[in-house]
Amino acid sequence: MNALRYGENGIVLRVVEVAGRSGRCKIKLWKDFQIHRSNILEDDLGKIKGIADSFEFEYEPFKMYTFLLKG
């Protein structure tokens, strides 16, 4: 499950693992962005990748991941 919306610091992407599994996820975006990790309050926790149109991350069961897309 995922959600995408405009936030104060850029576009907010939330991804939630609901099947109880772990693995690796690749997300393809529609244009280049600076990709930052974030928390539930949408605080910027640092850049995870330079300007790119895709990124990958490891996920764990039943966890929510928030990313800020800037640019």
Homologous superfamily in CATH for domain 2-70: Golgi alpha-mannosidase II (2.60.40.1180)
pTM of whole model > 0.75? yes
Cβ(50)–Cβ(6) below 8 Å:
no
Residue range 13-33, pLDDT digits in tens: 999 999 999 999 999 999 999
The CA-atom distances, in angstroms, between 56 and each of 8, 14, 66 are 24, 14, 13
User: Residue 9 — pLDDT band, cuts 50, 70, 90?
Assistant: confident
Give the separation between CA 11 and CA 61, rounded to whole angstroms.
24
Residue range 23-68, pLDDT digits in tens: 999 999 999 999 999 999 999 999 998 899 999 999 999 999 999 9
